[in-house]
C-alpha cells in the first residue's frame, strides 16, 4: 500500500510474568531499556496499541506492565505479539550504523558488480551479526556481517557489496561439482 507507514519491530512479548498482568518482553533495541523511549508500540497490523512501563528485568528480558492488562490471563494471550513502532519515530542511524530493516531487501553484489543475491534477514546468535543472502540459484548463504565481507553499503542505491569468504566460495564450488556429477574425488560407479 502506498500510504502504509513503514514500521520496525522493536521487541516481542514472550509470556506472562506474575499474576497481575505483567509481561516478559525480548527487546531488539541496542539498549533494551530504551524500548519504550520512542512512545507507544503497536501490533503488526496497527490495531492494538501498547503503552508499556518497564518495571524490571529478569533473565535477559524486560518485565513490563501494560496499562490495559490487569491479569495473567490477558497477559498470556499476548504471548508472541511483536511490538512495532513507526520508522519515522526512530532517530537517524549514525554513519556506519544501520537498522536491520534497512538492509533486508537490498541486492547483494560482488565486487565486480555481478549480482550475488538479496539480503533476506540478519541474525545474531551471540558471535556477531550474520547476513542471510538468498542467492539467485535458489540457495541461501549465511555471511558474517563484517567490513571484510560487506565492505560497502549504499541504502539509497539499494545494494551492498559482498566478498564471500573463501570457505563459502569453495563450498559452493563443491556443491556445484556434486550436482553436475563431477568432482575431484574418487569416481563412483554403479553396478
Question: What would the grid cell of residue 148 be?
Answer: 571484510
Question: What would the grid cell of residue 156 be?
Answer: 539509497
Q: Which fold has domain 7-88?
A: Elongation Factor Tu (Ef-tu); domain 3 (2.40.30)
Provide the whole-model pTM. 0.63
Instruction: Please state, in angstroms and as integers, the Cα–Cα distance from residue 72 to each residue in 17, 36, 56, 75, 97, following that order.
Output: 7, 21, 17, 5, 39
The answer to whether 159 and 103 have CB atoms below 8 angstroms apart is no
CATH pick for 100-180 out of 1.10.10.10, 3.90.220.20, 2.60.40.10, 2.30.30.240: 2.30.30.240
CA 142 distance to own-chain centroid: 13
DSSP 55-119: EEEETTEEEEEETT--SHHHHHHTTT-EEEEEGGGSPPPPTT---HHHHTTPEEEETTS-EEEEE
Q: How is the chain split into domains, by residue range?
A: 7-88, 100-180
The answer to whether 46 and 7 have CB atoms below 8 angstroms apart is yes
The tens-digit pLDDT sequence of the chain (191 residues) is: 334 558 888 999 999 999 999 999 999 888 888 888 888 999 988 899 999 999 999 888 999 999 889 999 999 999 999 999 988 888 787 777 787 888 889 999 999 999 999 999 888 777 788 999 999 888 999 999 999 999 999 988 999 999 998 876 555 544 444 444 544 444 433 34
Tell which residue, 97, 99, 118, has the closest CA to residue 160: 118
Amino acid at each position: 500500500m502506498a500510504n502504509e507507514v513503514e514500521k520496525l519491530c522493536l521487541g516481542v512479548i514472550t509470556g506472562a510474568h506474575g499474576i497481575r498482568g505483567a509481561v516478559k518482553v525480548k527487546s531488539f533495541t541496542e539498549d533494551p531499556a530504551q524500548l519504550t523511549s520512542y512512545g507507544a508500540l503497536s501490533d503488526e497490523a496497527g490495531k492494538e496499541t501498547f503503552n508499556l512501563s518497564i518495571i524490571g528485568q529478569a533473565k535477559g528480558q524486560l518485565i513490563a506492565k501494560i496499562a490495559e492488562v490487569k491479569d495473567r490471563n490477558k497477559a498470556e494471550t499476548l504471548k508472541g505479539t511483536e511490538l512495532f513502532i513507526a520508522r519515522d519515530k526512530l532517530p537517524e542511524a549514525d554513519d556506519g550504523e544501520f537498522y536491520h530493516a534497512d538492509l533486508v531487501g537490498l541486492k547483494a553484489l560482488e565486487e565486480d558488480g555481478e549480482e550475488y543475491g538479496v539480503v533476506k534477514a540478519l541474525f545474531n546468535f551471540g558471535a556477531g551479526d550474520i547476513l542471510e543472502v538468498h542467492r539467485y540459484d535458489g540457495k541461501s548463504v549465511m555471511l558474517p556481517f563484517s567490513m571484510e565481507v560487506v565492505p560497502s553499503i549504499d541504502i539509497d542505491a539499494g545494494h551492498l557489496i559482498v566478498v564471500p569468504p573463501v570457505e563459502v566460495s569453495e563450498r559452493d564450488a563443491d556443491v556445484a561439482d556434486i550436482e553436475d556429477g563431477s568432482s575431484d574425488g574418487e569416481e563412483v560407479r554403479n553396478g
